[in-house]
Structure 1
């Protein structure tokens, strides 16, 4: 199998592409539609079907991976941070398989991004503990130890003044509060200092949409751990989901 399809469902957008598995790169255009307001299950499913139609891939034998912003265990979504509360305890994998009429591999979105960067990106060949964080609508995280995924970490929900730290530190907070890069980096410093203290990682990789602009904030951080942008940037979730589907 040389190709697979990846779909990355986020809090603001649903993206998809066909992935070349040998090189870990998109071999199609990346298509995107806004995540439906409220992110109810039926509306999200309909939008996923739309982005697959936009890809124009008629070969249903291609593996399909779907990345989703929630903790996932045995195909069931256990959390709902930037999506409808109906997803909590929901048999999401079965719901998507029935709705799309095909088998899928269903994974956490940050975990998918972490796998992409470990196999084909900034964490390739990295030893010991790599922590990838996706900075977007919320904060996702993936732990990779010697390239092996430890699934369902949720560093964006570390407690900060009685709330999830992602409410204060995600890229969406910068946009919402119109923060300067310097002011936002000061918040990121608090987050990464705490994660560094708890886990003593060997490498941080930063993904999500803001990874397109690493020069604006990474040099402002003062950490003991090396920190680098994701090579595949906002396509990491698509590539990782497709890679896991092909395993």
Structure 2
């Protein structure tokens, strides 16, 4: 039964904005159907979102279908932005981000000389603040993606192996303090919220909303970036983070008990068997320390000489073992690979699928699709999603100081 048109106001603004934000409601007619409301109610909701400066409603209706032509809905080109930031093992990325998963000219910076928590987080805050000061658009908040587990709800970093931070470092509190001290400029929201989360979790969120995970109900993402392996699970549009935010640490799944040592203290973890260092080790090569490791690993994965092909096959076999184990436990309807794993998938798609099918309980008859990631800079896009979350839940918060 269709809901009546009475004032549903605030309760429908968030769901409506989320549908437009993720591209699921390009017209007012599509929004009417997705919300299951009357045209009048949909018109009132879109009018309020337009008044908030978040969307535009094109007065020239879109035709092409049956029935009455519908008005086009788009995200406001001059609407507010958030700051997205990501710390990698060997650098920092920052960008302003609009709704719709749009990054505005990301900056990729080297790590500062000092990588203790306070000074590294200060460098991130200052870089983001510089972008906010230089923008004509109002800035509403900042999200930060970290390459280590992050507890919920307190936001402490565990096993920050890349930088040697003490386990339990209160990253959320430290980052909020550095943001508070940063000069964000006169156009930034006065009460400026900040949030942090694990980078793989945020990449999965980005892929689910804007990329290869659209339409999936149980999306598993596995990725290897600059070092190590991360994973995340999105169920019915929500990240599964466990009881304390620490679920899906897939990098520490054992795939070879006699394999390479992992920084966690074990051997043969997916983390140490399928990342860039592992690919070079399998090829008996040493990367150039003067060049970014990730870029060199991608070139090696694409190489066609016998040594490179043998190394790819070795790493793909271990990746397949890990994916099969995860599929047996989680039963996803789609697996998205990103980072170096995307290149391994491109180099040996049939081999990877065969290993997963052979080791999966359901075999070839229950083969889960393994697809390449689509979102560029997915960790940054996910950090933007984190910063946008309060306004996707309650768009009227945009109007608050």
Displacement, 1:203? 0.7
CA distance in 2, matches of 1:98, 1:205: 35
Displacement, 1:227? 0.9
Q: What residue in structure 2 maps to residue 42 of structure 1?
A: 118
Which protein has the larger Cα radius of gyration, Structure 1 or Structure 2? Answer: 2
CA distance in 1, matches of 2:207, 2:379: 9
**1:125–1:147 CA contact under 8 A, matched in 2:** no
The number of residues matched between the two structures is: 242
Displacement, 1:230? 1.3
State TM-score, norm by structure 2.
Answer: 0.55
CA distance in 2, matches of 1:33, 1:209: 20
- 2:162 pairs with 1:82: yes
Displacement, 1:54? 6.2
CA RMSD of superposed structures (Å): 2.5
Q: What residue in structure 1 maps to residue 172 of structure 2?
A: 93
Q: What residue in structure 1 maps to residue 224 of structure 2?
A: 135
Matches within 5 A, 1:16-35: 16-21=94-99, 23-26=100-103, 28-35=104-111
Shift of the 181–97 alpha-carbon distance from structure 1 to 2, 3 Å rule, reads same
SS in 2 for 1:81: coil
- 2:252 pairs with 1:126: no
Displacement, 1:53? 5.7
Show structure 1 runs of 5+ residues with no match. Answer: none
Matches within 5 A, 1:1-247: 2-21=80-99, 23-26=100-103, 28-36=104-112, 39-49=115-125, 51-52=127-128, 55=131, 57-58=133-134, 61-72=139-150, 73=152, 74-86=154-166, 88-101=167-180, 102-127=192-217, 129-136=218-225, 137-151=227-241, 152=246, 153-160=248-255, 161=257, 162-163=266-267, 164-178=269-283, 180-208=311-339, 211=342, 214-222=345-353, 223=356, 224-233=367-376, 235-247=377-389
* Higher RCO structure (Cα 8 Å, ≥6 apart): 1
State TM-score, norm by structure 1.
Answer: 0.86
Displacement, 1:70? 2.0
